[in-house]
Amino acid sequence: MKLKAPESVFSSASFCPGCGHGLASRLIGEVAEELGIQHSLVTVVDVACCSFNIDYWKFDTIMAAHGRDIPTAVGVKHVRPGSSVLAYMGDGAAYSIGMAETIHAALRNDNICVIVINNSVFGMTGGQMAPTTLPGEKTATSPKGKDPTRYGTLSGVELLKHMDIAYLARGELVGSAGMIKAKKLIKSAFQHQLKGDGFSLVELLSPCPTNLNLPPVKARDFVHNEMTKYFPTGVFIDKGGVE
Amino acid sequence: MAKELMKGNEALAEAAIRAGCRFYSGYPITPQTEILEYLSWRMDEVGGTFVQTESELAGVNMLLGAAAAGARALTSSAGPGFSLKQEGISYLVAADLPAVIIDVMRIGTGLGDIAQGQGDYWQLTRGGGHGDYHTIVLAPASVQENCDMMQVAFQLAEKYRHPVLVASDAAIGQMMEGVELPPMTEHDIDSYDWAVRGCLPGDSPRKIQNTYYTRPDYVEYLREKYASMEANEQRWESYMTEDADVVLVAYGISSRISREAVDMARAQGLKLGLIRPITLWPFPVKAFDACPKAKAFMTVEINILGQMVDDVKLAVSSRCPVGFHGSFFSLPEPEEIIEQAKSLMEKEGI
């Protein structure tokens, strides 16, 4: 079997070694080509690390304001209903500054795909505490560890799983099994959009070795062993299925 | 064409439809809410999109997405809501995106109140968001102008690939007047090659982002863009300025009352004139060349600080004194404007 990078992904990327973003970007490229939507897809990337994808993908792409890529994507979808539309963001955008935007797009069941890269910190700004930071986790703004009596830890999936949306799932960008599963989740989300089912959100747990101050292998282990305790993986909503 | 009786805000909304606008996203706030209410059913009739968003932030960023996809897109707000729009306006400017944003001005700082006001002048003309920019600002003074300016606003937005602001106010938004509606025009979302739609094989992907990342001539490009707007887009109306001793400067609802003050003063033998800026930015400095006899200028505004005074001083290069008549909460009264013009003349020995 010959392995080949998807044509919709340029060969260079600016992500740190061991980061999950590059993996997610590639999986999205592969899914787009397998579904034959690579020439109609419009992607909207949030600022910070997500925004590198504007140079990485060969898709028409908008770089949105911080935490606003969901409404930006919704605006595109209304004007171009024949295009598949992806909003690609981090956990800070989805669950902190863009929380209202995430919840209300779900409430309207807007027919877009949202992919959230959850690495438990604000990456681009240097690893500050996020709503997804685990209790006790040391970050640039919780140097003694996150104090759970002052700052809770938020699961976006828990917030969304009782809403009337098309698809909700969480995977991890760890190991070959995690990658194969993550790709399946991404594909299902786009299939729901193609069927017109409405809002789908896939959260992907992702290692951030740079800001976790861990070598890539240990960062990967942190995702698999620690983050999954608070953020279990699985498919939580799959309205009508896609097969 | 027969005239129709319409409320100012509804005229703005209908005129947007007739200018080919098929996308609106916004949030209720007085005194602009009739725009939402009207478009909530009218967009359905014309096959457009209306979204009542969760906030002004979502409204303006949804507008950005629609504009990036090639639509003629509109949002509107007032007061505190208009402040929230600034984030998106700054991003629209940065990404060279055309869109129209209406500010139906209300009075005061913070929450202020829902009465008519003209306190957003600085925010409108100086670039209300972060960064280093201006937007063209159109200031209608009647319900008819609400109609006429929407077409102009979209055309200017697309000419310059830049957001255009329409600065109405609560008085014009809420009043009813007879209007002649413009004819319906259609807009093709594929008119512009830059609009996102999906990248065909062999094409370069379209990237909507801060042009700083993509234009080697970024600084020169922007300076030329704003210089071109300043040279070509100044709009104003002059009334009896040729022989006026004191020229009033007022826009929007204040300009209509000022015009009445000019007529009343002239009946008393007092030579007042009026410059009505139709664009607040670029400020119509050219209008001030046609006031050969003017010995003083006086702005008439519904705010406390006289926000337009500095622009008039720059326009006249400080060769004449510039006074200010401000009213707050209430509309200016023509008699008060005349009294203040008289005391300005007395003070300056005119």
Mention every residue, 6+ apart, whose C-beta is less than 8 A from residue A100: B54, B55, B57, B58
For the segment A218-240, the average pLDDT, to the nearest whole number, is: 98
What is the residue type of A40?
A: S
Residues of B in contact with A55 (CB under 8 A): 207
**Residue pairs between chains A and B whose CB atoms are closer than 8 Å:** 134
Find the CB nearest A75 among B69, B198, B206.
Answer: B69
Distance from CA of A103 to the nearest CA of B (A): 9
Find the CB nearest B49 among A59, A73, A78.
Answer: A78
Q: Which of A9, A35, A38, A42 to mutate to test the interface with B (most CBs of B within 10 A)?
A: A42
User: What letter would DSSP give residue B289?
Assistant: G
Is any Cβ of chain B less than 8 angstroms from the Cβ of A60?
yes
Contact B91, A65 (CB under 8 A): yes
Question: What distance in Å separates the CA atoms of residue A68 and residue B227, rounded to the nearest whole number?
Answer: 31
pLDDT of residue B118: 97
pLDDT of residue B141: 98
Question: What distance in Å separates the CA atoms of residue B294 and residue B21, rounded to the nearest whole number?
Answer: 43
Residues of B in contact with A47 (CB under 8 A): none
Q: Which of A10, A72, A83, A110 to mutate to test the interface with B (most CBs of B within 10 A)?
A: A72
Find the CB nearest A65 among B70, B87, B201.
Answer: B87
Question: What distance in Å separates the CA atoms of residue A118 and residue B327, rounded to the nearest whole number?
Answer: 53
- The CA radius of gyration of chain A, in Å to the nearest whole number, is 17
Q: Tell me whether residue A3 is in a domain.
A: no
Tokens describing residue B290: 């046609």
Is any Cβ of chain B less than 8 angstroms from the Cβ of A9?
no
Q: Tell me whether residue A52 is in a domain.
A: yes
Is any Cβ of chain B less than 8 angstroms from the Cβ of A71?
yes
Q: Tell me whether residue A119 is in a domain.
A: yes
If we measure between CA atoms, which residue out of A130, A221, A236 comes closest to residue A178? A221
Q: Tell me whether residue A216 is in a domain.
A: yes
What is the residue type of A56?
A: Y
Search chain A and give the residue with CA nearest B206. A60
C-alpha count within 13 angstroms, C-beta hemisphere, residue A98:
30
Q: pLDDT-based confidence at A9, cuts 50/70/90? A: confident
Q: Which of A76, A101, A107 to mutate to test the interface with B (most CBs of B within 10 A)?
A: A76
Q: Tell me whether residue A11 is in a domain.
A: no
Contact B115, B331 (CB under 8 A): no
Distance from CA of B243 to the nearest CA of A (A): 52
Angle between helix axes A69-79 and B56-68 (nearest 10 degrees) is 50
If we measure between CA atoms, which residue out of B159, B153, B167 comes closest to residue B103? B167
pLDDT digits (tens, 9 = 90+) for A64-96: 999 999 999 999 999 999 999 999 999 999 999
Question: What distance in Å separates the CA atoms of residue B103 and residue B108, rounded to the nearest whole number?
Answer: 14
Beta-carbon count within 10 A of B234 CB: 17
Three-state DSSP at A187 gives: helix
Is any Cβ of chain B less than 8 angstroms from the Cβ of A161?
no
User: What letter would DSSP give residue A202?
Assistant: E
Which residues of B sit within 8 Å Cβ distance of A? Answer: 22-23, 25, 49, 51, 53-55, 57-59, 61-71, 73, 87-88, 91, 95, 189, 196-201, 205-210
Q: What domain range includes position A86? A: 21-238
pLDDT of residue A88: 98
Contact B245, B293 (CB under 8 A): yes
A94: domain CATH number is 3.40.50.970
Residue that has been written with the tokens 């799932």 in this structure: A169
Search chain B and give the residue with CA nearest A40. B198
In this predicted structure, the answer to whether residue A10 has a pLDDT above a threshold of 90 is no
Q: Which domains does chain B have, with CATH numbers?
A: 4-232 (3.40.50.970), 236-348 (3.40.50.920)
Q: Tell me whether residue A12 is in a domain.
A: no
Search chain A and give the residue with CA nearest B75. A75
Please judge whether A79 and B210 are an interchain contact, meaning their C-beta atoms are less than 8 angstroms apart: no
Domain count, chain A: 1
Q: Tell me whether residue A15 is in a domain.
A: no
Please judge whether B65 and A74 are an interchain contact, meaning their C-beta atoms are less than 8 angstroms apart: yes
Beta-carbon count within 10 A of B100 CB: 27
Per-residue pLDDT 10s for chain B (350 aa) are 689 999 999 999 999 999 999 999 999 999 999 999 999 999 999 999 999 999 999 999 999 999 999 999 999 999 999 999 999 999 999 999 999 999 999 999 999 999 999 999 999 999 999 999 999 999 999 999 999 999 999 999 999 999 999 999 999 999 999 999 999 999 999 999 999 999 999 999 999 999 999 999 999 999 999 999 999 999 999 999 999 999 999 999 999 999 999 999 999 999 999 999 999 999 999 999 999 999 999 999 999 999 999 999 999 997 899 999 999 989 999 999 999 999 999 999 98
Distance from CA of A81 to the nearest CA of B (A): 10
Distance from CA of A80 to the nearest CA of B (A): 7
User: What letter would DSSP give residue B304?
Assistant: S
pLDDT of residue B329: 87
Distance from CA of A9 to the nearest CA of B (A): 11
Instruction: State the virtual CA torsion across A181, A185, A187, A193 in degrees, nearest 10.
Output: 180
What is the residue type of A28?
A: I
pLDDT digits (tens, 9 = 90+) for A141-182: 999 999 999 999 999 999 999 999 999 999 999 999 999 999
pLDDT digits (tens, 9 = 90+) for A11-70: 777 899 999 999 999 999 999 999 999 999 999 999 999 999 999 999 999 999 999 999
Distance from CA of A11 to the nearest CA of B (A): 15
Distance from CA of B33 to the nearest CA of A (A): 20
Q: Tell me whether residue A60 is in a domain.
A: yes
Please judge whether B68 and A76 are an interchain contact, meaning their C-beta atoms are less than 8 angstroms apart: yes
Contact B64, B157 (CB under 8 A): no
- The CA radius of gyration of chain B, in Å to the nearest whole number, is 21
Tokens describing residue B166: 């329409």
Contact B60, B8 (CB under 8 A): no
Question: What distance in Å separates the CA atoms of residue B164 and residue B153, rounded to the nearest whole number?
Answer: 6
Three-state DSSP at A17 gives: coil
